[in-house]
């Protein structure tokens, strides 16, 4: 007798086509989703333009420049350098007996201020000896002159009207005595000079780079003491200069560059300066020239920056009595601009005077209703537009 089972109670098997139908539905949903995901956004520009202009004429932003005096400036960066350094040496051989506390790295030495003294005892003795030699030579000369006068008087009495011969006038002995006196005076002057050289000073204000001398050291010229001859290194404030790269176009626009006033800003302060020379060649890698600036002579030496200091330089250039200053956004291809005249675009190429941080400097021209700033879609000569004033952001 047949028995009922669970399979017979579940009904017939599910058809296979139902699974394929579900797979097809899933694929169709994916395709639709990809289609809408890649479709471009729709932007209703017509409504915006209409709200903006109220007509078919597109609105353009313009500036209305007015001619004014403009002074060009060049802003560059550079480095404080040393044009010259001075090595301090002693011209006489002797022991150092005193060194100024200012003669140390970073110190300042005033003009004609002694900062090293060498034992003068030996040189003072030489001066006294030379003085004695001068006195002896003077006495010898006076004796010869006295003998010459006495001999001349006796000869005149014995030979009235006769010419007194040179022998009687003691011409040769007197000349030799005068020569001895001259040599003695020269020796005295040399001894005094050597004594003066035991005190070392400089005829100008200077700053100390390094000091290599101590009390008790034997110093003197290099041929006498060798390497110990260099007592230190100093530099004159006038030897400080600032070297900065400069573009050839700025040299042309600022010609002549030499003599231009400048301001130098460093961490230690701001200083007046002047361009004193320009390099005769340009750097091989950067293709830039170099200009050199000196600090004003009235600047206190103690306030000047140290060599190697970074500097920002502003050079004052020529002044144009009349010029337009345009925003860079006004420039088109080949430095032309769009000008609005009688409601239509007109292309114009002004004469460029240069570009600075203030904008594009050009010679004045007829700007009509304004110079267009920014990009105008599908702009063309004679295109009708509506000009609206442009205000640059503060």
How does DSSP assign 332-359, residue by residue?
-GGG-EEEEETTEEEEE-PPEEEEETTE
Task: Give 340's strand partners.
Answer: 345, 370
pLDDT digits (tens, 9 = 90+) for 259-289: 999 999 999 899 999 999 999 888 888 889 9
pLDDT digits (tens, 9 = 90+) for 16-66: 666 667 777 777 777 666 665 554 443 333 333 333 444 578 889 999 999
pLDDT digits (tens, 9 = 90+) for 170-202: 899 999 999 999 999 999 999 999 999 999 999
d(CA 189, CA 130): 8
Cα 170 to Cα 43, 104, 173, distances in angstroms: 125, 61, 6
Using DSSP's 3-state secondary structure scheme, residue 307 falls into coil
Residue 14: the pLDDT is 53
d(CA 121, CA 128): 11
Residue 358 Cα to chain centre, angstroms: 23
d(CA 261, CA 97): 46
What percent of the chain is modeled with pLDDT above 70?
87
Average pLDDT over every residue of 119-127: 96
pLDDT digits (tens, 9 = 90+) for 279-337: 988 888 888 999 999 999 888 877 888 899 999 999 998 998 999 999 999 998 889 99
Q: Which residues of 144-160 are buried (b: 16+ CB within 10 A; e: fewer)?
A: bbeebeebeeebeeeee
Residue 106 Cα to chain centre, angstroms: 21
Task: Give 117's strand partners.
Answer: 98, 199
Question: To which H or E segment does residue 153 belong?
Answer: helix 121-158
Average pLDDT over every residue of 2-19: 50
In the predicted model, is pLDDT for residue 6 greater than 50? no
In the predicted model, is pLDDT for residue 226 greater than 60? yes
Using DSSP's 3-state secondary structure scheme, residue 260 falls into coil
């Amino acid at each position: 007798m047949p028995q009922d089972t669970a399979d017979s109670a579940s009904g017939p098997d599910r058809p296979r086509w139902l699974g394929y139908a579900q797979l097809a539905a899933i694929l169709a949903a994916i395709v639709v989703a990809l289609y809408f995901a890649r479709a471009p956004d729709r932007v209703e520009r017509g409504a915006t333009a209409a709200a903006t202009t109220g007509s078919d004429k597109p609105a353009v932003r313009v500036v209305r420049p007015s001619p004014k005096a403009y002074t060009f400036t060049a802003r560059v960066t550079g480095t404080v350098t040393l044009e010259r350094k001075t090595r301090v040496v002693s011209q006489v051989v002797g022991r150092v007996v005193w060194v100024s506390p200012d003669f140390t790295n970073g110190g300042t030495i005033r003009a004609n201020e002694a900062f090293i003294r060498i034992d003068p005892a030996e040189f003072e003795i030489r001066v006294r000896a030379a003085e004695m030699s001068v006195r002896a030579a003077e006495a010898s000369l006076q004796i010869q002159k006295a003998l010459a006068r006495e001999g001349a008087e006796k000869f005149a009495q014995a030979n009235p009207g006769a010419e007194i011969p040179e022998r009687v006038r003691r011409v040769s002995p007197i000349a030799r005595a005068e020569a001895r006196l001259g040599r003695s005076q020269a020796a005295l002057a040399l001894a005094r000079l050597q004594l003066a050289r035991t005190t070392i000073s400089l005829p100008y204000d200077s700053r100390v780079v390094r000091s290599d001398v101590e009390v008790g050291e034997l110093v003197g010229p290099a041929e006498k003491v060798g390497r110990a001859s260099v007592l230190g290194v100093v530099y004159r404030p006038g030897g400080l200069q600032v070297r900065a790269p400069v573009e050839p176009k700025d040299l042309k626009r600022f010609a002549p560059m030499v003599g231009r006033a400048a301001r130098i800003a460093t961490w230690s302060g701001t200083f007046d300066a002047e361009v004193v020379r320009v390099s005769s060649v340009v750097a091989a890698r950067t293709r830039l020239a170099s200009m050199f600036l000196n600090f004003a002579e009235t600047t206190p030496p103690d306030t000047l920056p140290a060599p190697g200091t970074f500097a920002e330089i502003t050079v004052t250039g020529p002044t144009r009595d009349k010029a337009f200053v345009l925003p860079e956004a006004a420039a088109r291809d080949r430095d032309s601009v769009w000008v609005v005249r009688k409601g239509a675009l007109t292309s114009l190429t002004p004469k460029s005077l240069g570009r600075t941080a203030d904008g594009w400097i050009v010679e004045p021209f007829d700007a009509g209703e304004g110079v267009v700033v920014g990009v105008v879609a599908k702009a063309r000569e004679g295109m009708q537009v509506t000009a609206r004033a442009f205000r640059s952001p503060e």
